[in-house]
Amino acid sequence: VKAAFIRQHGGIEALEVGELPLPTPGPGEVRVKVLYSSLNHLDLWIRGGIPGIHVSFPHILGSDAAGIVDSLGPGTTGFTAGDEVIIHPGLNCGKCPRCLDNWESLCPQYKILGEQVCGTNAEYVCVPAQNLFLKPKKISFQEAAALPLVFTTAWQMLVRRAQIQSGEFVLIHGAGSGVSTAGIQIAKLFQAEIAVTSGSDEKLKRAESLGARHLINYKKQDFGKEVRKLKPGGPDIIFDHVGKDFWEKNIKCIAKGGRLVTCGATSGNQAVTDLNHVFFRQIQIQGSTMGSKLDFPLILSHVEAGSLRPVVDREFPLKDIALAHRRMSEQGQFGKILLSH
C-alpha cells in the first residue's frame, strides 16, 4: 500500500513515498482506509529525531486522520466496515490510575500515533477501536482529519489545565498555528477576551475573524508592553508553544496568579525563568501535552454545532508530502495542512 515514511531521521529529503505491506489489524484493532491525514509540528520533530524517543524504520509519520473502516481485528466490536470515522491519536493502556482518571496523557504507556508507532500518512492504518470516533455527517472528511490533535491539545490546555473562566483575558501566541486556531475558538467559546500574537499581519487578520479582539505583530511591537496596555495587570492566561523566544516576556507580563500554559517550544526549549516573578506574583507554569478522549465527543458536538471549526490551510496529495513539510517548516500556514490519500 502507498505510504509516506522515513528510513532514517533527517531533513525534508528523508521523506520517501512508496509501497509498504498492508498492515493487519490485531485483537481489538480496526483497519481504516485513510482518506485524509494532516500535519502537526510533531511530524517535523519526529522526522528530525527526538532524543529519548525510539522509532523503528521504516517509520510512517502522521497523527491525525479520517477515513472509512476497512476491516476488524479478532474480537473487535463497535464498528462495521464502511463506517466513516475520525482517528484520535492518543494511545494509552486504559487500565492504570491515570487512564481511569481520564488523564491519559499521563499514562506510563502513553504514545502518540506517528510518534513511537507508525502513523497515518498511509493508505491504511490499524488503530485500537477506542481511538475511533464516528464522523458526524455535518463534518467533512477534510475537517475531520484536521481537528483531533490540535483541538484535543488546546482543549486540555485551556479547559483542564488553565481552567479558563468567562471574562478572563487570554494571550495566545503564534496565531497561525493549528493549535492556536483551535485555542482562539475555545477561548471564545468560554467568552474570554482574546489577544493574539503573530509575525504576520495577514495571519492576525484571520485570527480576528476567529474571535481574537486584540492583534499584536511581535515583529513590529513589544508584545509584553502591548498586552500590558490592553490589560493593565497582565493577561490571566498565556497560551504558548513558542518557548524560548517569548518565555522571559511571558513571565514578566502575565497577571499575578496567572496561568502560563505551554504545549511546545518551537523556538527552543532552554528558556530563562526569573523565579522572583514566579513566587512573588504566584505565577502558575502549566505543562500540557495532548488530552483526554473523554473530552473528544464534546469537542465534536461543538464542531457539529458550528461553534468550533477546524481551520484548513491547504491540501497536498500524499505524494507531495515534502511540499507540505516545507510549508510547515517555513511557517507559511494558517491552520492545518492536509494530505489527500
List contacts with Zn ion (CB under 5 A). 92-93, 96, 99, 107
**What's the closest the beta carbon of residue 119 comes to Zn ion, in angstroms?**
20
**What's the closest the beta carbon of residue 89 comes to Zn ion, in angstroms?**
16
Cβ closest to Zn ion, residue 107 vs residue 170? 107
Cell numbers given for 129: 477501536
Q: Contact 183/158 with Cβ under 8 angstroms?
A: yes
Q: Beta-carbon neighbour count of residue 76 at 10 Å?
A: 18
**What's the closest the beta carbon of residue 290 comes to Zn ion, in angstroms?**
13
Q: Contact 156/295 with Cβ under 8 angstroms?
A: yes
H/E element, 31: strand 29-38
Cβ closest to Zn ion, residue 97 vs residue 232? 97
Beta bridge partners of 124: 33
Cβ closest to Zn ion, residue 44 vs residue 93? 93
**What's the closest the beta carbon of residue 63 comes to Zn ion, in angstroms?**
19
- Residue 117 three-state SS: strand
Cβ closest to Zn ion, residue 94 vs residue 317? 94
Strand ranges (DSSP E) for 124-277?
124-128, 132-134, 169-172, 193-198, 214-217, 237-240, 259-262
Q: Kindly give, in sequence order, each residue whose CB lies less than 8 Å from that of residue 156, ignoring residues fewer than 6 positions away.
A: 105, 288, 290, 291, 292, 295
**What's the closest the beta carbon of residue 211 comes to Zn ion, in angstroms?**
35
Give the amino acid at 110: Y
Cβ closest to Zn ion, residue 121 vs residue 292? 292
Beta bridge partners of 100: none
> CB nearest Zn ion: which residue?
107
**What's the closest the beta carbon of residue 96 comes to Zn ion, in angstroms?**
3
Cβ closest to Zn ion, residue 100 vs residue 305? 100
